[in-house]
Amino acid sequence: MMVCTSVPHESAPLHVTGRAPYTDDIPEPAGTLHAALGLSPLAHGRLIGIDLERLRAQPGVVAVLTADDVPAENNIGPLAHDDPILAHGELRYLGQPVFAVIATTRDAARRAAALAPQVIQAEALPARLNALEAHAAGEYVVPPMHLARGDAATALARAPLRLQGEWQLGGQEQFYLEGQISFAMPQEGGTALLLHCSTQHPSEMQQLVAHALGWGSHRVSVQCRRMGGGFGGKESQSAAFACVASIAALRLGHPVKLRVDRDDDFLITGRRHPFHYRWDVGFDAEGRVLGVEVDLISNAGHSADLSAPVMARALCHFDNAYWLPNLSLHGYSARTHTQSNTAFRGFGGPQGALAIEMILDSIARRLGLDPLLVRERNFYAQGRDITPYGQRVEELHAQSLAARLAHSSQYAERRAEIAAFNARSPVLKRGIAFTPVKFGISFNVAFLNQAGALVHVYADGSVLVNHGGTEMGQGINTKVAQVVAHELGVPLSSVRCSATDTAKVANTSATAASTGADLNGKAAQAAAQVIKARLTSLASEKLGSARVSFVNGVVHGNGRNMPFSELVRLAYLRRIQLWSDGFYTTPGLSWDKDKLQGHPFYYYAWGGAVVEAVVDRLTGETRILQADLLHDVGASLNPAIDIGQIEGGFVQGLGWLTSEELVWDSSGRLRTHAPSTYKIPTANDCPPKLKVELFGAANSADTIHRSKAVGEPPLLLAFAGLLAIKDACAACGPVGCDPPLSAPATPEAVLRAIDSVAG
């Protein structure tokens, strides 16, 4: 059994010894040049000119490129063609790339690019930085989206109880440890191109580079061995760097590397969408939601990027684990003069689901009920199991998950103990919360749910696998190698995954939506099955048995056996094809993207968290004391890797909701653009008591070995951290108060919330 086993990450020894090569570690051929980007100093403006002579005169500078030097299409917009590689005519945000300097060293290129404010001539125009202002002006990057079921207006009017509110939630920087980087190498005298790119989406980089060059995709190969993290930030937004490096390399006939530093990465690229909500909910005295209407306003930044599917996922995750009979949701993706916001772990799902969790918390406080009880009363259940977008929830795991977690975390006992503590503690106040997770697995754009793989069995019996997924630390190559080893019955040590390469598997989807192992695992399994079928015929003949089995490098049949490598050698001599491709598409998906109805998800991943926090009511400081996580990964392909994903996703979610704050000044300059001012969680922010358990039920959908995707859903477990802090804030005010705690719950936000309830 190579699956369902906690084998270490295939690169673990390389990671911990610092020998794992990333794009910047690829040896530079002689003549390699370096690029740096000159950035817009204005949030909005009309570009009049650039003093190119001054830039060209700088030491080490070989060339300066502008939008006019893009050979064909000046666009990196992944869905709408609305995002220039280099600014043309209009400056749309402070930090937008306007020109590229190519120099003999990276330092020289950066020094010249830093002259941008002096060499860019532009006329300032009024900038819109605030999503609510854009919403008021009807300025959107994509048309508004509506998801409705039943009759929310009537349900609200008739509900015995009603609450209205407004709430806001901040964005989040991906903060991949390896920044954005591309290294372009002209091939064949400049008639072809090899691009090494840190990207979750090699095929899209290939396509966008080809479009920019006016070439067919067959002349561009994109490779990515590994990323030092992506988290959604390299799904579309690796493209600017890929295109600039490629255009420069072909123009100059030299390899060109473009690696941005952290500050520029923050200023150029977008991140998780901040959201603003206006809600109106009607409910009964037991806390059951009868009707709910919500405006969800996201700040999309200056272009569409992936804002439409992000909003669609937000709307399709507002229900989280709850049956909402009458609902009306309106999603507005506001256009502002800021970085274009993009994918980030959860892809709008967290922004949708957290809204209903805040609403349920307010309902519970209004009624004086335990929030866990109110949540349980609203769970999807038999007969109340159709989502607002029309998909039936087949596995109803919320009840058993909540019950098991409440028991294992001693929720009720600890709530009583916390109340007693708070009664005798004037300064430190503690709080506890439970939140569930239901996360839909599949790209919400149906055609993206496809994958391919190529499996080579060499004549010595060793196996090389290539698939369309990319490795960003999440362990996809380990899982896919496990699947192939299992299928061929060989030890894991004889299987290896090689770098993702558009020349090997074509037309791949981004490694995103948590589907990497689901899709590519199935594709690689299919390829291995083809080879195994061919080998089985030969083994039957050699062992004289109709039934043969492949186990750990040995082929058995009829009480006899032979080494796998011997069988392969004989197959080669017989001229049997020892390699195969494999292809997979997720079955049963349908989606009407205009009506937001259908069956967009193959299945759901479930989870639950009980988190306890303490707040200092004088300073607003908070600490997470304990977290009990129970998460559903189906029948895990690799429990150790999955637990790592759960811990990482949870702590990353805590960072988003507690310490990571983005601040733009009134000129539109992002002031939090480095770890000095932008606080991601560190090992010290990991709760001192952190317990992770796997739910353990096999997936009822026919996924790879009945496993479930794990990449994104655990991030939503962190909701319980925010709500535990809110619970502690409530302990500072009168019984039944509802502190207006916004996220991130920084000390300032915590103090504001406490002040408004404690007077």
Binding residues for ligand MTE (CB under 6 A): 229-232, 345, 469, 472-474, 476, 511-517, 645, 648, 709, 711-712
Separation between Cα atoms, residue 491 and residue 719, nearest integer Å = 41
Q: Residue 705 Cβ, how far from ligand MTE at the closest point, in Å?
A: 15
User: Given candidates 240, 247, 356, 513, which one binds ligand MOS under the rule CB under 6 A?
Assistant: 513
Q: Residue 439 Cβ, how far from ligand LUZ at the closest point, in Å?
A: 10
Separation between Cα atoms, residue 298 and residue 49, nearest integer Å = 33
Binding piece for ligand MOS, criterion CB under 6 A, among 120-128, 342-350, 373-381, 628-636: 342-350
Which residue(s) pair with 164 in the sheet?
Answer: 280
Q: Which of residues 102 and 300 has its CB atom nearest to ligand LUZ in the complex?
A: 300
472 binds, among ligand LUZ, ligand MOS, ligand MTE, none (CB under 5 to 8 A by kind): ligand MTE
512 binds ligand LUZ (CB under 6 A): yes
Number of residues that bind ligand LUZ (CB under 6 A): 13
Q: Which of residues 513 and 528 has its CB atom nearest to ligand LUZ in the complex?
A: 513
Which residue(s) pair with 707 in the sheet?
Answer: 634
Separation between Cα atoms, residue 307 and residue 199, nearest integer Å = 19
**Annotation marks residue 712 as catalytic:** yes
Q: Residue 514 Cβ, how far from ligand MOS at the closest point, in Å?
A: 6
Q: Which of residues 511 and 703 has its CB atom nearest to ligand MTE in the complex?
A: 511
Q: Which of residues 620 and 649 has its CB atom nearest to ligand MTE in the complex?
A: 649
Binding piece for ligand MOS, criterion CB under 6 A, among 319-327, 338-346, 539-547, 610-618: 338-346
Number of residues that bind ligand MOS (CB under 6 A): 10
- The C-alpha angle 385, 386, 389, rounded to 5 degrees, equals 150
Binding piece for ligand MOS, criterion CB under 6 A, among 41-49, 215-223, 344-352, 651-659: 344-352
Q: Which of residues 40 and 509 has its CB atom nearest to ligand MOS in the complex?
A: 509
Residues 186-225 that bind ligand MOS (CB under 6 A): 200
Tokens of 241: 């760097």
User: Given candidates 488, 513, 624, 692, which one binds ligand LUZ under the rule CB under 6 A?
Assistant: 513
Q: How many CA atoms lie within 13 A of 108 on its CB side?
A: 16
Helix 307-315 with 349-367: angle, nearest 10 deg: 30
Using left for φ > 0, alpha for ψ between -120 and 50, and beta otherwise, residue 274 falls in: beta
Q: Which of residues 230 and 608 has its CB atom nearest to ligand MTE in the complex?
A: 230
What are the two backbone dihedrals, phi and then psi, of residue 337, each rounded to the nearest 5 degrees?
-90, 65
Of 262, 263, 268, which is closest to residue 229 (Cα–Cα)?
Answer: 262
Separation between Cα atoms, residue 181 and residue 614, nearest integer Å = 40
DSSP notation for 471-532: -SSS-HHHHHHHHHHHHHT--GGGEEEPPEETTTS-SPPPS-TT-HHHHHHHHHHHHHHHHH
Lay out the sheet containing 289-301: strands in order across.
Answer: 145-149, 327-335, 289-301, 275-283, 161-169
User: Given candidates 33, 145, 156, 343, which one binds ligand LUZ under the rule CB under 6 A?
Assistant: 343
344 binds ligand MOS (CB under 6 A): yes
Q: Residue 204 Cβ, how far from ligand MOS at the closest point, in Å?
A: 12
- The C-alpha angle 382, 384, 390, rounded to 5 degrees, equals 120
Q: Which of residues 339 and 742 has its CB atom nearest to ligand MOS in the complex?
A: 339
234 binds ligand LUZ (CB under 6 A): no
> Which residues have C-beta within 8 Å of that of residue 518, sequence separation ≥ 6?
441, 586, 602, 703, 704, 707, 709
Instruction: Identify the DSSP state of 460.
Output: T
Tokens of 17: 């010894």
Tokens of 310: 């992000």
Q: Which of residues 230 and 431 has its CB atom nearest to ligand LUZ in the complex?
A: 230
229 binds, among ligand MOS, ligand MTE, ligand LUZ, none (CB under 5 to 8 A by kind): ligand MTE
> Which residues have C-beta within 8 Å of that of residue 551, sequence separation ≥ 6?
489
Active-site choice (204, 395, 712, 748):
712
309 binds, among ligand MOS, ligand LUZ, ligand MTE, none (CB under 5 to 8 A by kind): ligand LUZ
User: Given candidates 140, 176, 322, 347, which one binds ligand MOS under the rule CB under 6 A?
Assistant: 347
Q: Residue 1 Cβ, how far from ligand MTE at the closest point, in Å?
A: 21
277 binds ligand MOS (CB under 6 A): no
Using left for φ > 0, alpha for ψ between -120 and 50, and beta otherwise, residue 544 falls in: left
445 binds, among ligand MOS, ligand MTE, ligand LUZ, none (CB under 5 to 8 A by kind): ligand LUZ
What residue ranges bind ligand LUZ (CB under 6 A)? Answer: 235, 306, 309, 313, 343, 347, 443-445, 448, 510, 512-513
Return residues touching ligand MOS (CB under 6 A).
200, 232, 235, 343-345, 347, 512-513, 712
Instruction: List, by residue number, the catalytic residues.
Output: 712
